[in-house]
Structure 1
Amino acid sequence: MQTIAVIVVADIAYLCQRGACQAANDYINESTRTHFPVPESGFRLIPNVMVDVEPSTLEAPVTLPELLVATATPSSQAVLTSPATKLYLSHLSSLPLTTLLTEPTRLATESDLLTADLTQLCHNQHTTFLSLHSASTVLSSSLESLTTSLDSILEEWIPSLEHESRRFVENTQSIQRDRRKASLVLEHHDKLLDVLELPQLLATCVQSGYYAEALDLVGHFERNLLAVLPQTALLDSVHASVLGSMQSLLNQLLHQLRAPAKLPVLFKTVNLLRRMDVLSEDQLAVAFIQGRAANLEDAFDRATGTERHRQEDPARYLRKWIEVFREGVYDLVTQYSSIFLPLPAPTSVTALSPQSQLSPAMLRSFLTTCTSAFLTRLLTLLRTTLREIPAVDMSSVSSLITQLAYCASSFGRIGLDFRAALRPIIEDAVYDIVTRGFKDAQDAFEKEVADATRSGKRPSDWLIVPGFDLTLGSQSRPSALGFVNGILQALNSLRLVAPPSVYLRVSDALDKTLLVVSSALLTYCLSRDWGSGESSADESGPAGLETMVLGGVGRALWGGSGAALGYLREALAIGVYGFDGQSDENDVQLRYLAGIGSMIEFGEEDEVDPTGEDVALSWGFTVTKIS
């Protein structure tokens, strides 16, 4: 048994020496099963070693490489533990016994062949081996030199390289920061672009009239950007641009309040101003009134023209001004009431708008002040312009009164009925127009009397016209007839607009005019100094002719109820106002006029005292007698 074990171990060693590890492994397994069965007592056979194994300590089978490593010398253990040896031993373990028995012979044969091949190779390639040896020697020296150089590099250059590297890092820190910033900007490019384009987009919305969208953009900027992001120079710049666009938006909205617009547009504009929250409710109300007042002023200028147009045609100027006033002020009141004044609540408590803590009375006071100013302006304009209308255009005054009555009734529906304030203005204007007609006729006649007195004309030269024809022009009419026609023209204009309350004033003015004219003519007649020139009339003497002319003029103007001056007084009382035309015998003015007529007709100065105290006190003038 020992002999067989020795043989087996020898064969295995030979196979391992030749590299046939797998064959050796197979050989061991086959020999173990054939020649060395495991006894029942429980031990295993290790070549040259017998180990008792207790059945209770029996473990997993030990492989051939493990057995060889356990029995090998330390120098051989490295060979036995190599991958090639393990692979060959595994190969030996898989070989059958017959193959394993021939494995030593095969290994010997392969060894001889390898030896022969190596010998032949060395013989044929000895120059190559010599060159390889020389190259190996040179390579070894080069490697030693390289090692020395690398050591010097590591000792000398590496610290310098580290220093330069640190310096490079320090010098490139700003660039790295810029690169990181650029990367961050690139990462948030879309968001930054939205922020940077917001001012331009906001300005475009404002310029295009998209005011609600512009306010939405501003709200987005304030809520989602300005309140969230930290304060930076870029955000401050964008905020400044947004504030500039908001100021432009505010200016445009305030300009819309000055432009012609209806209630829906104005309501929308005021709501946008409330959304901007830059004006309090009282400031907004004042701005609204100022804007609409400015628009109304522009409408006045466009409709009425300049001051020159007012002087050229006062009636047309007033007509257009009243029309613009009626439409503009009425619209202002209704628009302001709809926008700012709350509707009456069903309960006693009126809710104020959330934008304001003002009471409705305070808001109404703004409107009252504005309408009072425009109404005062209208009344002032009526006082100054109505009296400028000529008497021949009294029909325009009548139409203006109708227009004013319609305007006042329209304003009465909104609580601004001003008809009571029109009455004294219209009465004064009518009185001024009529008395101006009286004054024009009076001035014209007085001028002719003064010219005749200054030039010494005889009564027959200017008080009468030979062969007078009514169909001829006014230049061929007697001066007294021109005066009467002027008074009648003023009275005819009064018939169109004849307020009963001005009758006494007009009658008083007419009497004053008649007295002034009569006194002027009386002064001329009493002078009796007409020169020694020849008379144009074919009479026996100049004095008799002039006396006859004066008597005829006196009878025509002052004599009897059918005389011209009495007719003028009756024309006012009966023709214009329809009063009773019976003259009062105690009428001082009538008696005074009759006395002047007698003096002119008969030359009797003592029949009436033209400078009497009663007349002077009643009419405020005196007659100067020229001797």
Structure 2
Amino acid sequence: MTENEKFYTSILSDTSQEILLSQLIESLSETQQELVNKEWGKDYLDRLTSLSLESLKHEPILVKDEESKIQKELAELSFREYKSCIHVNSCYADINNSLDNLSSQLSILTAEIPLLETSSESFSQQTKQISLQRNKINTILEHHDNLLEILEIPQLMDTCVRNGLYSEVMDLSQHVARLVSKHSNIPLIQQIEQDVKQTMQLMLSKLISLLREQIKLPSCLKVIGYLRRMEAFDEAELRLVFLLSRDAYLQSLIHTIDKERKDPVHYLKKWIDIFREHFFDIVTQYRTIFADDVGGLASTPIYSSFIIPRSPSSPWTTASSDSNEYSSGRRNLTATSVLADYTIHILDQLTLVLAEFTPLITDTQSLSSILTQLMYCGMSFGRVGVDFRHLVTGYFEEAVERIVKKIISDGTQVFLDELNEAIKNVNIPNTWMISDKKSVNLFESIPSIRPSSSSSISSTNSSTTVTSSFTPLVILLDYPPIAYLTNAYLTAFNSLRVIAPTSLYYTLGAYLFQNLLTISESLRDYGKLLIQNNHDTTVLQGFNATFAKSFVPFITRCYVDGVYGGSLGDEAHLKVIDQAKILDTLKEFLPASINISNKVDI
């Protein structure tokens, strides 16, 4: 047989055996099928097919014998190892139960696996975040000291501001500014920046409040230096802030003396003292701190003739202000201009105070004291270009004019009241014009005027020799109305002599002449009344002669030479008091010996 035939014969033999084995297995019950091992069955089938017929016939007997043998050995084994068999059986039952439980638990485990996967993923994410936070915390811990320094900056700045350590505050502010420029996107740095800004606002208010208190020049320089470093104001605004703050302090001092308003003299003196001391400090401090960058301040005085005081509603203006300067909504302020505007404001306030309180003063002695105080103050301020003396004299002139006119008017009114009473009752001159011991022969020659050192009104010009006496004439005492009138006028002249404005010379002279002329006209009317009632006018003539020839020249001399020292000219009295007109008014009731055509030499 060839090799191919052998090969195909072996293939067919294997195939037939498998088919035969399959048919044999299928013929068995299910329980028996589970006991059959295909490998063993195949080997046994190969053995059967290789046996001879005789051997094949004896095979069932051999199988039976083998089965009996196995059964016997199994019986012996069971008898010998029955405990083990029982145990194995029990274990087999337990294993089956365990396998059943394992199967059910395995199903549950299989169902829980997706949830476990989800939880695992969530845990993994959480652990990553925790890890990141841990890394951040570790980083923070490594830089704890640096972070603590940064976090304490706002509190440290606040403490420095409250303790007045402004230089340290500025250094810390610059440090924070550098941090912001490098790390502007970090929320913590942004928060610190906000806190620092609030602290800087507190510092700004503190610095401005320092300018509203008593402060010396070195401290002013430091405060302005800090304000400039803060860059809260530009240069023009900084000047205004300085002046407004210092003015607030000045006004607070002025308000402290408001309780003295009931006493105008005392109030004005205190007001001027405060004004002199503190306004001078403001001017000097301002000119030192805000000196122009181009060689200092201008040589033009801060307060000169081209700057005039304005009303309180617009104090910060100058007479030379151009409307074009305001077209842009803001003036171009310089150290001189803004200080000049403020000076106008303060001097306007001074003039308002003088205008309010000088009319309340009733004696020239107090006016003279206040004016002297102001003159020295103005002369002192002249060193810094704020000579204001020409602004205040008008108020004192008005006050002097009012006081002197009132004294003259009161004296004249007393005389006229007595004269009008006599006219009303047609009283004869003997009853009221002369004293009890005076004779009626009064129109003889007028006594000569003799110099006297007592009770005289001294001249204001000490270098001029006064040849005439200012002692009242004795003959004036013979006529009580004239004596009282002389006393009133001399009281007015003594008040005027304390503070005698040259500008009032003609004004008061005209007023004095008007009063004398009014008295003369009333005396003339009284004389006409006496003639109408057929009364003797001899006493009246003597009274008029003394009034016109003694009283009027004496009063004129006292006014011209005694008060003003004759500094306005030898003939000035003729222009002020027209004695000829008074004589002409009384000519009908004067003694015949008096020639009214001649002028009287004083």
- TM-score (normalised: structure 1): 0.57
Instruction: Tell me the CA shift for residue 462 of structure 1.
Output: 5.2
Larger Rg: 1
Partner of 1:9: none
Specify the alignment match of 1:327 in structure 2: 277
Closer, same or farther in 2 for the Cα pair 1:543/1:193, shift >3 Å? farther
Query: Given the alignment, which residue of 228, 252, 255 partners 1:298?
Result: 252
- What displacement does 1:235 show? 5.4
* Amino acid paired to 1:202: M
Q: Which residue of 2 aligns with 1:512?
A: 514
Q: Secondary structure at the match of 1:555?
A: helix
- The worse-fitting range, judged by mean Cα deviation, of 332-341 and 321-330 is 321-330
- Matching residue's letter, 1:568: I
In the alignment, does 2:179 pair up with 1:224? yes
The counterpart of 1:557, out of the listed 543, 547, 553, is: 547
The code of the aligned residue for 2:580 comes to: R
The farther-off stretch of 371-380 and 568-577 is 371-380
For 1:486, the equivalent position in structure 2 comes to 488
- Between the aligned partners of 2:195 and 2:547, the Cα distance in structure 1 is 87
Q: Aligned partners of 1:268, 1:160: CA distance in 2, in Å?
A: 73
**1:42 alignment partner in structure 2:** none
User: Which residue of structure 2 aligns with residue 576 of structure 1?
Assistant: 563
Identity of aligned residues (%): 30
Letter in 2 for 1:340: F
Among 359, 369, 385, the alignment partner of 2:341 is 369
Whichever residue aligns with residue 368 of structure 1, its letter is A
1:442 equivalent in structure 2 = 412
CA distance in 2, matches of 1:317, 1:396: 12
Q: How big is each residue's C-alpha offset from its partner over 1:87-140, in whole Å with a ceiling of 9 and x where there is no partner?
A: xxxxxxxxxxxxxxxxxxxxxxxxxxxxxxxxxxxxxxx999999989987886
Q: Distance in 1 between matches of 2:166 and 2:259?
A: 37
Question: What is the alpha-carbon distance in structure 1 between the residues aligned to residue 218 and residue 234 of structure 2?
Answer: 21
Kindly indicate whether residue 286 of structure 2 is the aligned counterpart of residue 336 of structure 1.
yes
CA 1:285–1:573: 2 relative to 1, 3 Å: same
Is residue 237 of structure 2 the alignment partner of residue 283 of structure 1? yes
The aligned amino acid for 2:372 is T
In the TM superposition, residue 210 of structure 1 has moved relative to its aligned partner by 3.0
Offset of residue 173 of structure 1 = 9.6
Query: Which of 508-517 and 272-281 deviates more?
Result: 508-517
Q: Is the 8 A contact 1:387 1:433 kept in 2?
A: no
Note if contact 1:253-1:269 (Cα within 8 Å) is conserved in structure 2: yes
1: CA distance, partners of 2:192 / 2:574: 96
Report whether the alignment pairs 1:155 with 2:110.
yes
> Is contact 2:560–2:573 with CA below 8 Å preserved after alignment?
no
Counterpart among 395, 415, 432 of residue 385 in structure 2 = 415
Query: Do the aligned partners of residues 179 and 413 (structure 1) sit closer, same or farther apart at CA in structure 2, a change above 3 Å counting?
Result: same
Equivalent position amino acid for 2:275 in 1? F
CA deviation string 1:335-389 (max 9, x = no partner): 111111147759xxxxxxxxxxx99982221112222333344456556655654
Task: Determine helix, strand or coil for the equivalent of 2:385.
Answer: coil
CA pair 585-571 structure 1, distance change in 2 beyond 3 A: closer
Distance, in Å, in 2 between the alignment partners of 1:586 and 1:345 is 55
Asked if structure 1 preserves the Cα contact closer than 8 Å seen for 2:513 and 2:577, the reply is no
1:273 matched to 2:227: yes
Which residue is 1:254 aligned to? Answer: 208
Task: Look up the SS of the partner of 1:322 in the other structure.
Answer: helix
Change (3 A) 1:128 1:480: farther
Where does residue 62 of structure 1 map in the other structure? none
Does residue 308 of structure 1 match 2:261?
yes
RMSD between superposed Cα atoms in Å: 4.9
Q: Aligned partners of 1:594, 1:323: CA distance in 2, in Å?
A: 52
Q: CA deviation at 1:331?
A: 1.1
Structure 2: which 5+ residue stretches go unaligned? 1-80, 297-329, 439-471, 473-478, 597-602
Is the 8 Å Cα contact of residues 341 and 360 (structure 1) preserved in structure 2? no
Q: How many residues align?
A: 440
- State the alpha-carbon separation in 1 of the partners of residues 144 and 372 from structure 2: 72
Structure 2 distance, partners of 1:359, 1:584, is 55
2:267 pairs, out of 317, 321, 331, with 317
Alignment deviations for residues 188-235 of structure 1 (CA, whole Å, 9 cap, x no partner):
766665555544443343333333333333333332147514153x65
What code does the residue aligned with 1:435 have?
A: K
Q: 1:323 to 1:146 in 2, by over 3 A?
A: same
| Uncovered stretches (5+) of structure 1, i.e. residues with no partner | 1-125, 347-357, 471-476, 531-541, 609-627
Letter in 1 for 2:179: N
Taking the aligned partners of 2:437 and 2:144, their CA distance within structure 1 comes to 109
Structure 1 segment 75-90 matched on structure 2, within 5 A: none
The amino acid of 2:185's aligned partner reads P
Q: Residues 402 and 152 from structure 1, CA distance in 2 versus in 1: closer, same or farther, beyond 3 angstroms?
A: same
Matching of residues 71-470 of structure 1 within 5 Å: 144=99, 148=103, 151-163=106-118, 165=120, 183=137, 187=141, 197-225=152-180, 227-230=182-185, 232=187, 237-303=191-257, 305=258, 308-309=261-262, 312-314=263-265, 316-342=266-292, 362-379=334-351, 381-382=353-354, 385-386=357-358, 388-390=360-362, 393-419=363-389, 430-450=400-420, 463=433
Determine the C-alpha separation between the residues in 2 that align with 1:487 and 1:327.
40
State the Cα distance separating 1:588 from its structure 2 match.
Answer: 8.0
Aligned CA distance change for structure 1 residues 367 and 141 (closer, same or farther; 3 Å): same
Partner secondary structure for residue 566 of structure 1: helix
The answer (yes or no) to whether the contact 1:185–1:192 under 8 Å persists in 2 is no
What per-residue deviation string (whole Å, max 9, x for no partner) do you get for residues 282-304 of structure 1? Answer: 1001111111222222233335x
Q: Shift of the alpha carbon at 1:279? A: 0.4
Shift of 1:402: 3.4
| Cα distance in structure 2, aligned partners of 1:399 and 1:383 | 17
Tell me, yes or no, if the aligned pair for 2:409 and 2:515 is still in contact at 8 Å.
yes
Higher relative contact order (CA 8 A, sep 6+): 2
State the secondary structure of the residue aligned to 2:384: coil
Amino acid at match of 1:313: P
8 Å CA contact 2:556–2:577 kept in 1: the answer is no
Q: Secondary structure at the match of 1:413?
A: helix
